[in-house]
Amino acid sequence: MRCMSLRNVIERFIAHQARLPKGVFGGVIMARIFSAANRHRHQITLQQLSLSKKYAVLDVGCGNGDFLFNLRQHSPSCFAVGIELSSAMSTIVQRRNTNHRTGGRVDIARADWSRLPFLEDSFDRVIASNIIYFWEKPHESLSEIHRVLKASGKLTIIFQPISPTNQAKYLSYGYVTYSQETVIQLLNDNGFRIIDVLSKEENSKNRSWEVLWITASRGA
């Protein structure tokens, strides 16, 4: 019983850090956890984006910047921008920038997801990976993404949909959980048009779960 209690405490602490990484743990341990957990997802996301030269790509809630730096290696002519609430994560991206040539750097801004500091029609692609659980105002966040997307732009949301095995745990962490249908409805309500839904199964330590990539255009 004591071991189970300790495990629950650790899981809750990590879940809290995932929402807004802070301090040494957030800036070091969580960065490593993010890198390990998202490595394969980033590869799939790059395939989903269908990038062309000189596309401007925004990562909403970019964490330690792994996806953006992978993007710059994959498509060096693309302009990579991230926004992040966590000062610990923003600092990591800034430090990583110093280890890259000018051509491999990314732009990073600390900003609220519901108040993007960009002009209208700024981006060709926007991704929101593992972040929708934390949006306090999802309609405002999606409205802002819609605003900064170009007319031909696309948004890809990556998340684990709600399931009988994760619902209680996620709710206990204070996360907002979504089904595939709920996210599609949110996108439709905010002017997007669904283009593609990709489902992949991930596995770890005798557990498996579904991950979704929902891609939408800005609509008419």
For residues 130-140, average pLDDT: 92
| 51 secondary structure, DSSP code | -
Query: For position 168, what pLDDT does the model report?
Result: 64
Q: Spell out the domains of the chain, with CATH numbers in brackets.
A: 2-217 (3.40.50.150)
Q: Could you tell me which residue, 13 or 120, shows the higher pLDDT?
A: 120
- Percentage, residues of the chain above pLDDT 90: 49
The answer to whether 18 and 37 have CB atoms below 8 angstroms apart is no
**59-79 residue pLDDT tens:** 999 988 899 999 998 898 999
CA dist., res. 4 & res. 220, Å (int): 52
**93-116 residue pLDDT tens:** 888 887 665 456 789 999 888 899
* Total-model pTM: 0.85
DSSP code string of 93-110: HHHHHHTS-GGG--EEE-
Query: For position 1, what pLDDT does the model report?
Result: 42
| Helix, strand counts (H, E) of the chain | 8, 7
